[in-house]
Structure 1
Amino acid sequence: MVIRILEPADYGLFAMSQAVLTALAFLNGYSFATSLVQSREISDHRISQVFGMLILANVLIAAAQFILAPVAASYYGQPLVADMLRIQAVIFLATPFIALPSALLARRIEFRSQGLVNMLCALAGASTALIMAWYGFGVWALVFAPIAMAAVRAIGLTISARLLVWPTFDFRGAGDVVTFGGALTLCQLLWIVQSQSDIFIAGRAFEPHDLGIYTTSLFLVLIVSGKFLPPINEVTFPAMSELSKDGLPLAPFFIRMMRTVALVTAPIYIGLALTAEATVFTIMGDKWSEMIPIIAGLALAMPFFALQIVCSPATNAIGRPRIYVATSAFGALVFPAVFLVGIASGPMGLVHAWWVAAPSLLAFTLVLTLPAIDVKLSDLIRELAPVAAACTVMAAGVLALGAFISPLPYIVQLVLLALAGALLYGGTLWLAWPRLLKETWAMIREGKQDPVAAAVAI
């Protein structure tokens, strides 16, 4: 609904500010909080130290963003970006009250309360964006929605985690936190280079309209992985950490986790690529028609990207963050390189860059990750093959049906194609590989209650 109200240029301006905010966010200290999950034992003093690190880091970042806002606006040639960045700096002040309680809840394997807080957070952000867009605030609807989300999440998680410690700024004896957190912070920096390089490069080359078309397409395509994979990683990291501490093998859990991710994301992305035209005209309207080939192209690269994202919790859980650093460094080199080449061909050039970068990053990650956790590539391929086969059947059926129903209204096409795709995909798996569906459902159901118990059961 917000997309229908706002203009592509609004999303282009917002993407420019987000690239700066995200670039500074790698210093927000989240990785220091993550170290609490991996540690065997923690004390109130250690929690207070991490709290102090988070507060110090984020106050400094907020100040830096406020000061550097005019520089960013000058780089993009858009004065409004400076005002947006100054206001968005307040988000960093909420980060300590999000990162620390989130880590404590993850350590205690308490995800139900996090899920409730995240739902309230999403409702607050969506309501803020919709109300402000409806009353004509334009790009400011996109600016204030994340601020509302951060405030609600900070309050909700702090209450849920029963965070009753005061911060301390005496960091003596916290060397292990700095070492582990420093490695993950470096990975965050490399991840930011990888994930924001397209916006940084295109921000000066594209007009706000074209940048808005590309970034909105990317945002919509990433909704699936952005909403599905973070909860998976939040569960996977502490579960694998417990397995590693107990000396149990990680390979079976890792393989089935990869299979679960593929089972969910692959058909959605391939289906989105096949129904991009009907999806855009039904949901966004005619003014966003330029998104159709971009969404279709990006969706084809996303299954590779999704599988790569869920690899890092395994190597971090066994205390080998250097693998995560190496894969992040590879992504930070490959993505900007291909974007620099693709930028000459406009938004579709960036799409073609994704086709090269995403599979390359997954291949490199698997080369380093699989030996570290004793997983054979042949075993992983065998578990993922049914998903590929079912997606092939689904794609053939949807293409055939699409040619037959093309005269119908777009909304009718979308409903029919989605239903047909779901039936073909689910039916193929049920007829040929019923064991796979039963095991996956059992894993998800058990994981909702106790992810560590589910991992041990596997």
Structure 2
Amino acid sequence: MVDSSPSDQDQTASEASFPGQVIRSLLYSGVGTTVSKVLNVVALLVVLKWISASAFGIASIVLAIFSILKAVTELGLGVAIVQAQDITREEIDSLFWLSLGASGTLYLLLAAAAPLAGWFYEEPQLTALLQVYGLSLVVFSFYFVPKNLLTKELSFGRIVFAENASLLGSSLVMVALAYYGFGAWSIIVGELGNRVGRLGLFQIFRPYWPHLTFNWTAVQPRVSFGLYATGSRLLYNFYMNADYLLVGRIFGPEAVGIYTMAYRIISDPVKTLAFTINDVAYPAFSKLQDELDRLRTYFFTIARANLSLIGLVLVIIAVHIEELLVVGGYEKYFDAIPLVYIFSFVGVFRAVAALVPQLLNAVGQARLNFFYAILSSILMPLAFLVGGQFSLNGVAWAWVVTYPLVVGVLLYFSARVLQTSFGYVLRRVAPGGVVLLPTLGAGLAMQFFTDAYLPDMPILALGIGTVVTLGVGLGLIALHERKAISVIRGHYSAEEA
């Protein structure tokens, strides 16, 4: 009998505990992200009661601009910190100073150029809003290192607390400002307060004070990796927000408010569920980057989970959107309902597409994300321009026509890094959507029933319809994905994925 060496025993113990780490991280991230999104949505819904659609549209334009610019502040270096198997303190300090220099320079340029945005959109208020919210770029640079170190360590409990506590405080500020008539400023100041709160709490949970040291030679490989991630994120954020900017220019701030309402009704749940899983998937994939069989197993399992769970939520929203608006008292946003139907279809593709960049970054193939982002940043804005020539709905239909094509390219890249075929990836991932059609049928049947027998009781109709549709969907997922669930629970088998 041959005894296992201590290193072999440690490795076996580590492998055995890995599924448990993933499950605990998913739990922390899932609960935390859900709570944060609920807080954010509730605060936003309260704010929308007190501000106009036009004010909401102006704030949305500001947030869209900064969503694009934020990628530059980090330079993709946070992704490099998580992906690196070993990284020195000197490298981390050097990465911090690079990020701070980039964000400081970007803020100065933005502050000088802000009046041009006000002129372009014929909204003078945009100038001051951009200059104030621009401070969030600099604030972000001071907490991206501690946050990514916590992510690398799978310490999602601390991340969850920090993000939710800061969000709660900023939500209260946002609601108070909206109540007192500050319009678009209530959203912008609230968002800035959220960043400041994160800075303080991340420094408490993972203190990091940079040394006055900089070694370009040591960090050059990290920067090369980070630049691909930066370019990908910058281009991704550009095409994901180009529709907001285009709608604001062609149709005006009020149309942006309607469009944003519809988009966020779909995108916020997608982000909540996708980011919950993806925040854990990236460090998990990074740890498995040298174990191809296990990497395939976890990728296909998580991709199907994304598709099934997010698709289920989208079905519920699409079926019950009118009741949701009526119950909430948001009849002024009824024009957003056709857009919600369109975005629901797009959301199904986003459920899968959101996971692949995590895989590509985790295995050190950030350049593939960059190529995908280049393609998307060309095709999607062109599609928006064409759709915008017809109507506001035409911009949304541009998503339906073009987005599946770019997602196909992304799945092809995933097949390359997993050393398999595009067809094989589709066969392993697509079954996650099998449950959606019968779930949609159940939801429509319940809506027909409640319309016939509960026409004057929208709250009861919404509650019954949601519970029944959710129950049918979860039951079908449990039956259809038994093997995938066993993989997530730690009963690993490469064949089960």
TM-score, reference length from structure 2? 0.85
Q: Which residue of 2 aligns with 1:103?
A: 148
Distance (whole Å) between structure 2 residues aligned to residue 290 and residue 256 of structure 1:
38
CA contact (8 A) 2:308 2:435 kept: no
Structure 1 pair 208–173 and aligned structure 2 pair: CA distance change class (3 A): same
Q: Which moved more, 1:8-17 or 1:159-168?
A: 159-168
Name the amino acid aligned to 1:159.
Answer: I
1:101 and 1:30 map into 2 onto residues whose CA distance is: 16
Shift of 1:191: 0.8
Distance 1:73 1:232 in 2: 38
Structure 1 distance, partners of 2:329, 2:136, is 29
Aligned positions of 1:317-332 closer than 5 A: 317-332=362-377
Listed as ranges, the matches of 1:255-334 within 5 Å are 255-334=300-379
Is 1:32 equivalent to 2:77 in the alignment?
yes
Which whole-Å CA distance do the structure 2 matches of 1:395 and 1:29 have between them? 41
Structure-2 separation of matches of 1:384 and 1:189: 27
Alignment identity in percent?
20
**Residue in structure 2 matching 1:427, options 475, 487, 490:** 475
**Displacement after TM superposition at 1:91 (Å):** 0.5
Match of 1:439 in 2: 486
Q: Is the 8 A contact 1:51 1:168 kept in 2?
A: no
Q: What do the CA deviations read for 1:230-254 (whole angstroms, capped 9, x no partner)?
A: 2322221221111124666411111
Question: How far has the Cα of 1:26 moved from its partner?
Answer: 2.6
> Helix, strand or coil: the match of 1:278?
helix
Residue 69 of structure 1: CA displacement? 0.8
Number of residue pairs the alignment of both structures matches? 448
- Measured in 2, the distance between the counterparts of 1:169 and 1:415 equals 58
Distance 2:399 2:327 in 1: 26
CA distance in 2, matches of 1:25, 1:338: 24
Match of 1:416 among 461, 464, 487: 464
- Distance of 2:443 and 2:277 partners within structure 1: 29
| Distance in 2 between residues matched to 1:285 and 1:102, nearest whole Å | 37
- Residue number in structure 2 paired with 1:66: 111
The answer as to whether partners of 1:251 and 1:374 remain within 8 angstroms in 2 is no
Work out which of the residue numbers 138, 154, 158 in structure 1 matches 2:199: 154
- The 3 A distance-change label for structure 1 pair 387 and 29 is closer
Residue 403 of structure 2 aligns with which residue?
A: 358
Give me the whole-angstrom Cα distance separating, in 1, the residues matched to 2:420 and 2:95.
34
Equivalent residue in structure 2 for 1:142, among 187, 190, 211: 187
* Whole-angstrom distance in 1 between the partners of 2:481 and 2:370: 38
The equivalent residue for 2:417 is 372
Matched, 1:91 2:136: yes
Change (3 A) 1:439 1:263: farther
Q: SS of 2:76's equivalent?
A: helix
CA distance in 2, matches of 1:151, 1:272: 33
Q: Which amino acid aligns with 1:288?
A: Y
Separation in 2 of the partners of 1:428 and 1:182? 43
Q: TM-score, normalised by structure 1?
A: 0.91
Q: Given residue 64 of structure 1, which amino acid in structure 2 is its aligned partner? A: L
Instruction: Identify the residue that residue 34 of structure 2 maps to in structure 1.
Output: none
Distance 1:14 1:321 in 2: 32
1:254 corresponds to which of 282, 290, 299: 299
Q: Which residue of 1 aligns with 2:173?
A: 128
RMSD: 2.3
Q: Distance in 2 between matches of 1:350 and 1:154?
A: 37
Q: Distance in 1 between matches of 2:333 and 2:144?
A: 36
* Mapping for residues 219-234 of structure 1, pairs under 5 Å: 219-234=264-279
Name the aligned partner's letter for residue 408 of structure 1: D
- Contact kept, 8 Å, 2:90 with 2:215, in 1: the verdict is no
Q: Show the counterpart of 1:196.
A: 241
Read off the aligned partner of 2:469 and give its amino acid letter. Answer: G
Whole-angstrom CA distance in 2 between matches of 1:245 and 1:382: 24
Does the CA-based 8 Å contact 2:261-2:333 persist in structure 1? no
What is the alpha-carbon distance in structure 1 between the residues aligned to residue 299 and residue 63 of structure 2? 33
| Structure 1 unaligned spans of 5+ | 447-452
2:234 maps to 1:186: no
